[in-house]
Amino acid sequence: MSEIVNLEYLDGSANKYIIKGEDKKVIEYIPVKPSFSSSGVYDGGDYIKKEISELQYNEITLIINEAIRNTESHIKNRVKTSGMIIIQDRNDRKIYNLAPNSKELNKIEKTLQDLIKN
Protein backbone atom coordinates (compact mmCIF):
# COMPACT_ATOMS: atom_id res chain seq x y z
CA MET A 1 0.00 0.00 0.00
CA SER A 2 1.21 3.51 -0.72
CA GLU A 3 1.65 6.01 2.05
CA ILE A 4 -1.68 6.54 3.80
CA VAL A 5 -2.69 10.17 3.70
CA ASN A 6 -6.02 9.84 5.46
CA LEU A 7 -7.85 7.13 7.32
CA GLU A 8 -11.55 7.60 8.06
CA TYR A 9 -14.08 5.46 9.83
CA LEU A 10 -17.84 5.94 9.91
CA ASP A 11 -19.57 4.09 12.70
CA GLY A 12 -23.04 2.52 12.65
CA SER A 13 -24.65 5.90 13.34
CA ALA A 14 -22.51 7.71 10.70
CA ASN A 15 -20.31 9.52 13.23
CA LYS A 16 -16.98 10.11 11.48
CA TYR A 17 -13.51 9.50 12.88
CA ILE A 18 -10.49 10.82 10.99
CA ILE A 19 -7.05 9.54 11.93
CA LYS A 20 -4.00 11.33 10.62
CA GLY A 21 -0.48 10.07 11.08
CA GLU A 22 1.79 12.69 9.62
CA ASP A 23 4.17 14.58 11.94
CA LYS A 24 1.58 14.71 14.71
CA LYS A 25 -0.77 11.79 15.24
CA VAL A 26 -4.30 13.18 15.47
CA ILE A 27 -7.81 11.81 15.87
CA GLU A 28 -10.80 13.90 14.93
CA TYR A 29 -14.37 12.95 15.83
CA ILE A 30 -17.17 14.52 13.81
CA PRO A 31 -20.49 13.56 15.40
CA VAL A 32 -23.83 13.29 13.66
CA LYS A 33 -26.26 16.00 14.69
CA PRO A 34 -30.03 15.39 14.98
CA SER A 35 -30.85 17.22 11.75
CA PHE A 36 -28.64 14.74 9.83
CA SER A 37 -29.55 11.56 11.71
CA SER A 38 -31.99 9.06 10.24
CA SER A 39 -34.21 9.37 13.32
CA GLY A 40 -34.01 13.15 13.45
CA VAL A 41 -33.26 12.82 17.17
CA TYR A 42 -29.90 11.06 17.52
CA ASP A 43 -27.02 13.30 18.58
CA GLY A 44 -23.49 11.91 18.39
CA GLY A 45 -22.19 14.34 20.99
CA ASP A 46 -19.42 16.91 20.82
CA TYR A 47 -16.78 17.46 18.15
CA ILE A 48 -13.33 16.36 19.35
CA LYS A 49 -9.90 16.83 17.83
CA LYS A 50 -6.81 15.81 19.77
CA GLU A 51 -3.33 14.44 19.51
CA ILE A 52 -2.78 10.76 20.15
CA SER A 53 0.45 8.95 20.93
CA GLU A 54 2.46 6.92 18.43
CA LEU A 55 1.40 3.80 20.36
CA GLN A 56 -2.31 4.71 20.12
CA TYR A 57 -1.94 5.49 16.41
CA ASN A 58 -0.21 2.16 15.78
CA GLU A 59 -2.90 0.30 17.74
CA ILE A 60 -5.83 1.71 15.78
CA THR A 61 -4.13 1.33 12.39
CA LEU A 62 -3.26 -2.29 13.26
CA ILE A 63 -6.89 -3.02 14.21
CA ILE A 64 -8.19 -1.37 11.04
CA ASN A 65 -5.70 -3.28 8.87
CA GLU A 66 -6.82 -6.54 10.51
CA ALA A 67 -10.43 -5.67 9.65
CA ILE A 68 -9.45 -4.95 6.04
CA ARG A 69 -7.65 -8.30 5.77
CA ASN A 70 -10.54 -10.27 7.30
CA THR A 71 -12.83 -10.19 4.28
CA GLU A 72 -15.38 -12.45 6.01
CA SER A 73 -16.64 -9.38 7.92
CA HIS A 74 -17.03 -7.29 4.74
CA ILE A 75 -20.39 -6.56 3.15
CA LYS A 76 -21.03 -5.24 -0.33
CA ASN A 77 -23.21 -2.24 0.53
CA ARG A 78 -23.35 -0.01 3.57
CA VAL A 79 -26.45 -0.61 5.67
CA LYS A 80 -27.69 0.91 8.90
CA THR A 81 -25.42 0.00 11.87
CA SER A 82 -22.59 -1.14 9.57
CA GLY A 83 -19.15 0.44 9.66
CA MET A 84 -17.20 1.98 6.81
CA ILE A 85 -13.42 2.24 6.51
CA ILE A 86 -12.07 4.73 3.99
CA ILE A 87 -8.35 4.66 3.19
CA GLN A 88 -7.00 7.54 1.13
CA ASP A 89 -3.41 7.38 -0.01
CA ARG A 90 -1.62 9.63 -2.47
CA ASN A 91 -3.02 7.85 -5.53
CA ASP A 92 -6.07 5.86 -4.50
CA ARG A 93 -9.14 5.65 -2.29
CA LYS A 94 -10.43 2.32 -0.97
CA ILE A 95 -13.69 1.71 0.90
CA TYR A 96 -14.51 -1.31 3.06
CA ASN A 97 -17.95 -1.90 4.59
CA LEU A 98 -18.06 -3.94 7.80
CA ALA A 99 -21.05 -6.05 8.76
CA PRO A 100 -23.14 -4.85 11.69
CA ASN A 101 -22.08 -6.47 14.98
CA SER A 102 -19.02 -8.10 13.40
CA LYS A 103 -16.05 -8.71 15.70
CA GLU A 104 -13.95 -6.27 13.66
CA LEU A 105 -16.55 -3.49 13.77
CA ASN A 106 -16.96 -3.84 17.53
CA LYS A 107 -13.19 -3.79 18.12
CA ILE A 108 -12.66 -0.70 15.95
CA GLU A 109 -15.53 1.21 17.53
CA LYS A 110 -14.47 0.37 21.10
CA THR A 111 -10.89 1.44 20.37
CA LEU A 112 -11.99 4.69 18.71
CA GLN A 113 -14.30 5.52 21.62
CA ASP A 114 -11.44 4.89 24.06
CA LEU A 115 -9.16 7.18 22.02
CA ILE A 116 -11.56 10.13 22.00
CA LYS A 117 -12.53 9.76 25.67
CA ASN A 118 -9.06 9.32 27.19
Q: What CATH number has the domain spanning 4-117?
A: 3.30.1560
Domain ranges of the chain: 4-117
Q: What confidence score (pLDDT) does residue 4 get? A: 57
Which own/partner pairs from 77-83 qualify as long-range (CB within 8 Å, at least 24 positions apart)? 80/12, 80/38, 81/12, 81/13, 82/12, 83/9, 83/10, 83/11, 83/12, 83/108, 83/109
Q: Which residues sit opposite 98 in a β-bridge? A: 74, 83
Q: What confidence score (pLDDT) does residue 85 get? A: 97
Q: What confidence score (pLDDT) does residue 1 get? A: 41
Spacing of C-alpha 66 from chain mean position? 13
- Average pLDDT, 10 consecutive residues per value, the chain (118 residues): 72 94 91 86 94 94 94 94 91 94 96 92
Nearest residue to 112 (alpha-carbon basis) of 4, 18, 6: 18
Q: What confidence score (pLDDT) does residue 89 get? A: 81
